[in-house]
Amino acid sequence: MSIFNELLGNVSIPKFVKVRQKFPRPKIENIEKETTKELMQKNLLNNIKKGDRIAITAGSRGIANIDRIIKEIARNIKEVGGQPFIVPAMGSHGGANAEGQIKVLNSMGITEEFCGAPIKSSMEVVKIGETEDSLPVYIDKYANEADGIVVINRIKPHVGFRGPYESGLVKMITIGLGKQKGAEVCHHQGFGKMAENLPKIASVIIEKKNIVFAIGLLENAYDETYKIIAMEKEQILNLEPQLQKESKRMLPKVYFDKFDILVLDEIGKNITGTGMDTNIIGRYHTPHASGGPKIKKIVVLDLTNESHGNANGIGLSDFTTKRFFDKMRFDQTYPNSITSTVQETIKIPMVLDNDKLAIQGAIKTSNLENESDAKIVRIKNTLDMEYIYISENLIEEAKQNPNLEIIGVLTPPNFNEYGNLF
């Protein structure tokens, strides 16, 4: 028996019940039809001439239906005689190298075969100008050489700062297309200047490059596409702040304002930049964002395969497992942190042998009068929030909330022979 079993083995873990969380659920049923309709109704393909080489941006996030949307856009471009290709637009992600960024895209279903367009990946950038306050402006080599660019991104709250432009089209233009070099420039002055720097840099690119059109995507709380908004490049800076406000109203949440422990089955770069959405867990790696529930301890059990070892975000937790730690790759995790100049998200929490010990460790260190009374919420990840598990002491509070439906029976957590949850 290990010392950890001796110290934590007698810590009582409460029983749990499955609960359904209810959120508004508008949804697009036919993604391809809606994508083409937006392009046709707004005549956005008219500026593409026969033979034009059109770069389509593809980021590193797990955006709903992104592979299908890119495929449909590529199809439309080919129908009017253009030659589409895909550019990984993800700053320093994928280990800050060209091959790694292709692997990130492939893991999300964005392949040359499926999308019907080649992927051109390079970390080489071209300086195309400077902002009014002398910040250099960089853009991906292949996008710079293209006859036109199509910018695509989901619009949602950022995990580290607040402003009219957070995660969205402006960030994709500035940091995504800027690759590691552009991301470094934008992050150099810290997250306190991010809301100011993003539109400054994006404005130069919008002015100098032929952005044929942009596609903004909004998702509901169930990680489903509910709005596809196509726009001309002149509309990006005006429309995005409105769409940002709308996205914040649709953000999922845990319907408990205060509890002891949050257990996440997994985090990952395909879920959000910090592995788990800071807006949902109520913990932030910068002082420039706030909100969310008050939680004493956070436990992370696993890292998604789609993260390719990038464990960014684990530093926001208090406990994790050896399983998670063994998947962590420093060469994938650290470039992102070095580029962003923020190290809080990559610090390593207490690592214990299995799920059971990690949860017991969180309970033990929560300074509760009675450990069996711990208020615990367990979720799969911060994208998949419809079904959660809550401990016995949260049941009465759940019954008072019309957005929560208890659908299971109270049972002890089910651990396998290795101490991991089924």
Percent of residues, the chain, with pLDDT higher than 90: 83
Residue 81 φ/ψ region, left for φ over 0, alpha for ψ in the -120 to 50 degree band, beta for the rest: left
Query: What's the confidence (pLDDT) of residue 1?
Result: 59
Which residue type does 120 have? K
Nearest one of 17, 111, 22 to 409, comparing CA atoms: 17
Burial class (CB in 10 A: 0-12, 13-18, 19+), 170: buried
C-alpha to C-alpha distances, 230 to 133, 169, 279, nearest whole angstrom = 31, 11, 27
List the domain boundaries for the chain: 3-23+252-406, 31-249
Read off the pLDDT band of 198 (50, 70, 90): very high
Per-residue pLDDT at 2 exceeds 90 = no
Domain 31-249 has CATH 3.40.50.11440: yes
Q: What are the two backbone dihedrals, phi and then psi, of residue 155, each rounded to the nearest 5 degrees? A: -105, 125
Supply the mean pLDDT for the chain: 94
More confident residue, 289 or 346: 346
Q: How far apart are CA 263 and CA 317, in angstroms?
A: 10
Q: Which DSSP string corresponds to 146-196?
A: SSEEEEEEE-B--SS--SSSSBSHHHIIIIITTHHHHHHHHHTT-GGGHHH
Model confidence pLDDT, tens digit, residues 21-50: 999 999 999 999 999 999 999 999 998 999
Q: How far apart are CA 351 and CA 365, in angstroms?
A: 14
Model confidence pLDDT, tens digit, residues 225-253: 999 999 999 999 999 999 999 999 999 99
C-alpha to C-alpha distances, 80 to 46, 337, 373, 390, nearest whole angstrom = 8, 42, 64, 53
